[in-house]
Homo-oligomer: A and B are copies of this chain.
């Protein structure tokens, strides 16, 4: 647990490097979010971006000096591709990664484009020892708890062994972010029965069943088998594992279908005078619902499996979303997600070795 060099000393816990230049609304919302995170939650944040601009915005918020700044002269727009962001070492996201590699910060929050953040942070922070690829995790607005969906798009082409690691990453995330003690893990496929799905899903299900049976108790996956698309929002499992292509399609389909339905409801509610009167009586409940289902509210993807927690606030994030992203980065890092991933992956590798040499546990399904 390091403290920021230029911090004021009153804050403790992990230092969060906030790439403040990336969002759709410019750095103002990031600066506001950082000030809230520092003042209201006592977090340690370092703003990364063009110093004159950030200092001016802090002063406008009546918070000059309240949040330390690290200068980065270059800025990537939301529309620059992943490759551009990777090539530019002076961009705010690259400088934020450098702070982490130098030990001056231990988590990253960015409002930049998902593709750019994934590429840059994967190259600059690298995966944890033993992790093949990082996975992008999102939280779906299910009840009673959010369901974690991963990979939501970091790896368009995945291997079964990667998906098993994603299951461990997702379980560690559900525990760190939502306090779920024994996360129930399922695999997204077509058809609920065992043996359904494409080649990748079938092979992955076999490996997950074996991993559930073989790992030692503390790192055991509670693998509940297959779920289908209509189960994503049922809230019955804590983690849903899939490849990044399917996961990204599913996530965006959820977002689109929720928006489509809410728009259709609004239209139906104003289609007659009686309906309009009804809509007036409904407005509070529906506004709250729209907020709950709004991707900006539950949004904030997390890139798991790197040598630091990386939270990607939605590009259209306003200050409260940036503040929530900082709190999530803080919770993940303080909660020791890195250590949990390490022990889970080591246990997974050991049991895979035992399984290959034939000395491992019984091949019984977990469910």
Contacts and interface: CB of A to CB of B under 8 A. Distances in A.
A162 to B, nearest CB: 13
A261 interface: yes
B229 A190 contact: no
Given A274-B281, A282-B282, A261 B229 contact: no
A257 B253 contact: yes
A364 interface: no
Given A228-B249, A232-B253, A253-B230, A288 B268 contact: yes
Interface in A148-171: 153, 156-157
A20 to B, nearest CB: 25
A102 interface: no
Contacts of A262: 261, 265
B230 A256 contact: yes
Q: In the complex, which of the residues A153, A233, A264 has the most CB atoms of chain B within 10 Å of its own CB atom?
A: A264
Contact of A282 (B248, B264, B275, B289): B275
A367 interface: no
B251 A229 contact: yes
A298 interface: no
B157 A248 contact: no
Interface string A7-18: 000000000000
Given A157-B198, A201-B245, A260 B233 contact: yes
Interface in A209-231: 228-231
A229 B258 contact: no
A153 B196 CA distance: 11
Interface string A311-344: 0000000000000000000000000000000000
A269 B293 contact: no
A60 interface: no
A26 B254 CA distance: 33
A199 B244 CA distance: 12
Interface residues of A, number: 61
A255 interface: yes
Number of copies: 2
Contact of A197 (B228, B245, B269, B286): B245
Contacts of A100: none
Contacts of A252: 190, 228-230
A59 interface: no
Contact of A229 (B157, B243, B244, B256): B256
B230 A255 contact: yes
A196 B156 CA distance: 9
A264 B243 CA distance: 29
Contacts of A244: 190
A144 interface: no
A268 B245 contact: no
B231 A256 contact: yes
Contacts of A233: 256-257, 260
A65 interface: no
A153 B253 contact: no
17 contacts: A188-B249, A189-B249, A229-B252, A229-B254, A230-B255, A230-B256, A230-B259, A232-B253, A250-B250, A258-B261, A261-B265, A265-B265, A265-B286, A269-B286, A271-B285, A277-B278, A279-B282
